[in-house]
Amino acid sequence: MLEINFNPSWKQHLAWQALEDDTTEEILYGGAAGGGKSYLGVCWKLYRRLRYAGSRGVTARTRLIDIKESTLVTYFKVLAEWGLVMGKDYWYKSRSGAPEALVFSNGSREIFKELAYNPSDEDYQRLGSLEITDCWIEEANDGVPEKGADIIKSRIRWMLPEFGLIPKMLITCNPGYTWVRIKYVFDAENNPVALKPYQQVVQALVTDNPDKAFVATYKKSLEQMKDYDRQRLLLGDWNAVERTGGEFYPSFDTQTHVGDYDYDPDLALHITLDFNHTPGVTLNVWQVRGKEATQIDEFTQDSKTTVTCQRFMRRYGDHRAECFVYGDPAGKHADTRTEQGSNDYTIVLKELRKLPRVTMCVEASAPSVSMRGLWIDELLEQDGRPILSAIGAGGIVIRFNRKCNVTITDYQKVKKASDGTKEKKKVQDPKTKVSYEPHGHPTDANEYFLCRCFANEWRAFQRHGNNKPAVGNRADVHQRAF
C-alpha cells in the first residue's frame, strides 16, 4: 500500500492529517508564499488516485492556463520523483492545448477544471454532471468565486461509501481580502472565525518549507518587498492592507510597529474606549514603560459597553496593579444610555469595580482630529528616535501586539479627508440594513489615550505645530498623565 510520510515537524504533516482523517471536510492550507502548498496538493491528489482505483479527483484554478503553466509542472515533477512513467503508469489528456486530465492505469482520473466567473454560466452548470471523490482548489484567492467552490464541493460523492471516505476539499492560497478570508480566517468585522468541526486551517510560511536552500534564497527576496506584499507573502498576514495613497497614518509600518508583546501583570493597565452601537464598542488595552507604549489587547464588535467590559474582566479581572481609563468624552453624556443617571463611563466603573484601583482619565473634550493625527503619525515616523526641536529631544515609542488585528487594520485602512480629519465613509450592514462607519474607531480610542497619557508632549506639539514636533522632558508617564 502506498504510504506518504511528511516529517512530523513540517506543516505539511499537520495538513496531511486533516486531509486523511474521518472528520475534516474543508482544509485551508497556506498563508504565505513558498510554504509548500502546491507540493502538498499534488502529493495528496496523486496518493488518492493511486490508492483508490477508479477514483476521480478535481484540481481547479481560476484559469486552465494557470494549471498548464504552473500546477502541471509540479504534477510532472512529483510523478517523476515517484518513478511513474507517462504512457505506462499514466496518460496526460488535453484538448486544444488546454489540460483535461491525468488518467492512471488503475482507472483513476484527476480532472482539471476552470472556475473563473462566466456571466453566461452564473450557476456553474458546466459542473452539473460532475461526480468526484475529492477536490483541490489551488490559489483560491486569485479570482475563484465562492459559488464555484461551493458547487464543486457539492459534486464530491463518487464512490465515497465504497472507499470508506468522506468529502474532502483542500484549498490553498496566499492571504487576500476574499471569501476565503471571511469564511476561514477573519469575518467581515475582522474577528477570528469560529471554525466548524469539519473545517481546519493550517498556516504555513516560507520558513515551513522543508527545502532549506530554497527558504534561504526565497526568504531574502520576500524581505525586500514593500510592506503590503511583505506582510502577505512573507509573514502570512491576512490583515495586510495595500497602500493606495491618502492614508491618515502614512508612517504606520507593520514591520516596525507590530510584534509579539506579552502582558505584564505587575504593570498598570491603560484601557481606552470608543462607543458605537455599530460596528460596536472598542476597548483597547495598553501598558506603558517610560516612553514606550504598547497595545497588548483589544475588545471589539460588542454593541453594549457592559458586554465589552465583562469580556475585559474575564481576561484581566485578576490584575492587581492600577487601571487607568481613557476614551471618548461623549461617553459622559447621560443621553447615551436609557437608564436615568447612567452613561458609558458609569457602566465602565461598575463593571470594573472588582479591580483594586481604577482611575478615570477622560478629558472634557476630544482633541482636534487633524492635529492629533499629525502628531501620532510623527511619533510613528520617528519611532522613538531623538527629535531635534526648540524644546529638546523626545523618544515616544508606540507598539502593537500582532493579535490586535482590528486595530492594526484600522491604522492601515483609515484615509484622510480633504479637511485633514479622518474620512469615515458609511456602509450598510447587509443583514440589519443599518448604516455605520466601519473604520476609524480603534484609532480614535488610541488617540484619546495617547493625547492624555503623553499630555506634555501633545501640548508641546500643539504649541509648535507639526513642522516642529516637539516633545516634553518629563519621563514619568503617570505624572504627565495625571
**Joined grid coordinates for residue 185:** 480566517
CA distance 330 to 363: 10
Residues 158 and 288 in one domain: no
Examine the fold and report which residue of 151, 184, 212 is the final residue of a domain before the chain moves on: 212
Give CA separation, 92 vs 71, 214, 242, 337, 480, in Å: 13, 29, 40, 69, 73
pLDDT value of residue 129 = 85
CA distance to 241, 320, 449, 454, 458, per residue, from 481 (Å): 33, 20, 9, 6, 11
Check which CATH number belongs to the domain holding 334 and give it. Answer: 3.30.420.280
Q: Which residue has better confidence, 420 or 473? A: 420
Side chain identity, residue 201: V
**Same domain for 448 and 363:** yes
191 and 318 co-located in one domain: no
Q: How confident is the model at residue 1 (pLDDT cuts 50, 70, 90)?
A: low
Q: Is 160 helix (H, G, I), strand (E, B) or coil?
A: helix
* Domain membership of residue 72 as a residue range: 11-212
Place of cell 475585559: 312
Q: What gap in Å lies between CA 258 and CA 282, rounded to an integer?
A: 19
Higher-pLDDT residue of 337 and 24 is 24
Number of domains composing the chain: 2
On whether both 386 and 309 belong to a single domain, the answer is: yes
Asked if residues 134 and 167 have their Cβ atoms less than 8 Å apart, the reply is: yes
- Tell me: pLDDT of 227 over 60: yes
Chain Cα centroid distance, residue 370:
28
Dihedral sign computed on CA atoms, order 184, 235, 34, 174 = positive
Of residues 149, 203, 199, the one with CA closest to residue 27: 199
Q: Based on the fold, state whether residues 196 and 306 are members of the same structural domain.
A: no
Identify whether residues 265 and 365 lie together within a single domain.
yes
Residues 187 and 268 in one domain: no
Q: Indicate whether 1 belongs to any domain.
A: no
Residues 201 and 272 in one domain: no
Res. 82: pLDDT tops 80: yes
CATH number at residue 199: 3.40.50.300
**Same domain for 176 and 271:** no
**Which of 212, 245, 277 is where one domain is finished?**
212
Phi and psi at 229, nearest 5°, equal: -70, -35
The per-residue pLDDT for range 393-452, each reduced to its tens digit, is: 358 999 999 889 889 889 988 999 988 999 988 877 656 777 888 889 999 999 999 999
- Residue 432 in any domain: the answer is yes
Q: Is 96 left (phi over 0), alpha (psi -120 to 50) or beta?
A: left
Q: 176 and 285: one domain?
A: no
* 413 and 241 Cβ atoms separated by less than 8 Å: yes
What average pLDDT score do residues 333-338 get?
Answer: 55
The reply to whether 26 and 117 lie within a common domain is: yes
What sign has the CA pseudo-torsion 315, 320, 324, 330? Answer: positive
Question: Which residue type occupies 13?
Answer: H
Phi, psi (deg, nearest 5) at residue 51:
-75, -40
Any domain includes 232: no
Residue 26, in any domain of the structure: yes
Asked if residue 226 is part of any domain, the answer here is: no
Q: Quick check: is 6 in a domain?
A: no
Q: Mark which of 212, 237, 264 sits at the end of a domain.
A: 212
For residue range 155-205, list pLDDT tens digits in order.
Answer: 999 999 999 999 999 999 988 888 999 899 988 777 889 999 999 999 888
Average confidence (pLDDT) over 331-356: 80
Using pLDDT thresholds of 50, 70 and 90, give the confidence band for residue 287: very high
Look at strands 292-302 and 397-401 and give their pairing: parallel
C-alpha cell at 256: 516596525
pTM, whole model, 2 decimals? 0.65
C-alpha of 373 from chain center: 24
